[in-house]
Structure 1
Amino acid sequence: MDFNYLYLSLDGRIGRQSYWIGIAGFVVIALVVGLIIAVIAGLNTTLGLILALIVEIVLIYPAYCLMGKRFQDRGKPASYALIGLAVSIVIALLGVLGITHDALGQPTAFGWICNVVQIIIGVWFLVELGILRGTVGPNEYGPDPV
């Protein structure tokens, strides 16, 4: 598995197996970094939210490359991945600003709306990228990776 290609290139297509391997890498990073942030800054603190936002920003391009190639395998432009990434960053920024939660860290009404939007996009991405097969045979983005 070429992880440079997986996380740093927008060229071509990847199948579901490569996508899930890439997602597993993000899960490991999120767990390790999340634990470090929780130890350093605590949970639901402004500093913790800022550090989490910074990590999310750092991981945007690798996530875009991974999801973009998977969208391309489905015959769609990589830019579709930006929908989920942009929503995620905006909601994280709103969290840092204290707009999506109260002083106790509980979601506000707007925070719940943001959560629902993220769930809808997450289900779409799960089905589109993680479950459905890519275009059979070559498409405009390259040969079939299967």
Structure 2
Amino acid sequence: MDLQYIFASFDGRINRAKWWAGIVIILVVSIIIGFIIEVVFGTGAFGTFLATVLALALFYPTYAVCAKRFHDRDRPGKTALYGLVPSLIAGLFQTWGLTGTPQEPNGLGWICTLINLGVLLWFVIELGILKGTPGQNHFGGDPLAAIN
């Protein structure tokens, strides 16, 4: 698997397996680095700043992975932004403590939770479960053609 192509390119198509692998890698990196930030720096101003930088840094590879998967579904890669941008904003609101606590979320907390849940369901169904366009489409050849 070409990691540079998966995480840094917006060209071409990837199949469901590569999308799942890319998302799992991004999630593991996020959890590990987020845990290190919280343990070393806590949830104070500098820890929150580093968590924000982490979220912004992981946005690009997440967008690249999702854009290529939307290409496989014969949809523009920009479609990923309809889910990723609201999720990023909701996550940043949570990082900055604007949503209450996990045990007692405020109104904004409930809205952010619903946004993240909606995007998660949409992406899992659209990108993780549904098959891509068979054969050639507007964004390139079938990524499964090389496997068969």
- TM-score (normalizing by structure 1): 0.89
Name the counterpart of 1:135.
Answer: 133
Unaligned ranges ≥5, structure 1: none
Equivalent residues, number: 144
Cα distance, 1:99 vs. partner? 2.3
1:29-68 pair list within 5 angstroms: 29-42=29-42, 45-68=44-67
The secondary structure found in structure 1 opposite 2:55 is helix
The CA deviation at 1:105 is 7.5
CA offset at residue 18 of structure 1?
A: 0.8
Q: How many Å separate the matches in 2 of 1:34 and 1:96?
A: 11
CA contact (8 A) 1:15 1:145 kept: yes
Matched residues in 1 for 2:96 and 2:79: separation? Answer: 27
Structure 1 partner of 2:115: 117
Report the CA distance shift for 1:108/1:46 in structure 2 as closer, same or farther (over 3 A).
Answer: farther
Q: For residues 6 and 96 of structure 1, what CA distance do their matches in structure 2 show?
A: 27
AA at the equivalent of 1:57? L
Q: Is the 8 A contact 2:90 2:115 kept in 1?
A: no
RMSD, aligned CA: 1.9
The aligned amino acid for 2:61 is: P
**Structure 1 residue 46 displacement after superposition:** 4.5
Instruction: State the SS of the aligned residue for 1:32.
Output: helix
Once the two structures are superposed, the pairs formed by residues 5-20 of structure 1 within 5 Å of their partners are 5-20=5-20
Aligned to 2:90: 91
Query: How many percent of aligned residue pairs carry the same amino acid?
Result: 40
